[in-house]
Amino acid sequence: MKILAVDDEPLILRLLETTLKGLGYSENTFAESGAEALKCLNAAPEPFDCILLDIRMPNLSGIDLLKQIRQLPSYRSTPVIMLTALSEKSYIDESFANGATDYLTKPLDATELLARLRVARLLCEANTNQQPSVGALPAREGEKFDFSDAIQIEDVPRVVNSLAMENYLLQLGRLGMFKLGTIGFQIRNANGLYAHEGCDEFREILTDVADCIFEATRAVNPVISYLGSGCFIAIVPRSPNFSSEDLEDLITTHLVNYRTEEGFDAEDEVRVLVGEQINGSLFGSSPLKIIDQALESVQKRHAFVPSRVSTRLMAI
């Protein structure tokens, strides 16, 4: 696996070089700044398989660099692991919202690093081989995917893939999760839409829905993820509590506008059902449990049998 590591501190790079080598990773490139990293990315004869990024760097921060990396066609879904000495939530949020796959706090722990790299390798292989069920696939135009696949929604702000969402929640810890709320969303008759419209059109619908969820919640800097089977979740601050009815109306209004602009008739209307905001608990909360509760809430509010209740996020 070809790895690019970026950190402005030469000692950290030396430590990474030693650690990566000790873990059996030998195809490593190191950059001491964002600018140098961009040069490496552009000059590489073959794309890197994984990128390790320090967050706080002079001139071009790790998060700004990440934004630029995600604009490069070859790196839209490459695993990017953020490295930082800080465990402040704002950095975690910003990292994941801008496309980070995972997050590792310094001091570097070889075992932790190895675990993250193994997941990165799986993602990398899945992206290469287009195998479903590992994290999220980009599923670009013309590519087939299953209804239950948690495909990656692109070009919508603050939307992360399902694996990144799970990593994000895991990194928050108990107190972090306590400060947050989770809202579940389900596209009504998603299975029927998928079967009737096909992959390309269904992907367009998913992108529109993700955009509308973002627009409806953008004031609170949400982190949004598509989990497959027409289900989305959004992580928002615990307070103020969103009203499901208001959110549903807002999303419907946005969707009608979008779909009308795109030339669809009223009969092509797509509806999104919204659950109650589920606030994290200090005890007994886990990422999977919170996500399940949020999706079950959609079911309870609308008294329907969803095509999918339990999340299928990859267990690491």
- Single-letter amino acid code for the residue at 146: D
Q: How far is CA 145 from CA 126, 172, 271, in A?
A: 13, 31, 22
CB 38 → other proteins: shortest distance, Å?
22
- Select 25 or 242, whichever has its Cβ closest to other proteins: 25
Question: Please, how many CA atoms are within 13 Å of residue 267, restricted to the half-sphere of its CB?
Answer: 0
User: Is residue 111 a contact residue for other proteins (CB under 8 A)?
Assistant: yes
Binding residue (CB under 8 A) for other proteins from 2, 15, 147, 312: 15
Binding residue (CB under 8 A) for other proteins from 2, 67, 70, 106: 106
Burial of residue 256 (number of CB atoms within 10 Å: 0-12, 13-18, 19+): middle
Binding residue (CB under 8 A) for other proteins from 2, 19, 271, 309: 19
- Single-letter amino acid code for the residue at 182: T
Q: Please give the Cα distance from 159 to 163 (Å, whole number).
A: 12
- Select 84 or 297, whichever has its Cβ closest to other proteins: 84
Q: Which of residues 28-67 bind other proteins (CB under 8 A)?
A: 54, 56
Q: Please give the Cα distance from 140 to 126 (Å, whole number).
A: 14
Burial of residue 17 (number of CB atoms within 10 Å: 0-12, 13-18, 19+): middle
Q: Which of residues 65-94 bind other proteins (CB under 8 A)?
A: 84-86, 88
Binding residue (CB under 8 A) for other proteins from 23, 38, 122, 134: 23
* Structure tokens given for 155: 């070009």
Task: Choose the stretch contacting other proteins; rule: CB under 8 A; options: 15-23, 225-233, 241-249, 269-277.
Answer: 15-23
The site for other proteins (CB under 8 A) is made up of: 9, 11-12, 14-15, 17-19, 21-24, 54, 56, 84-86, 88, 106-108, 110-111, 114
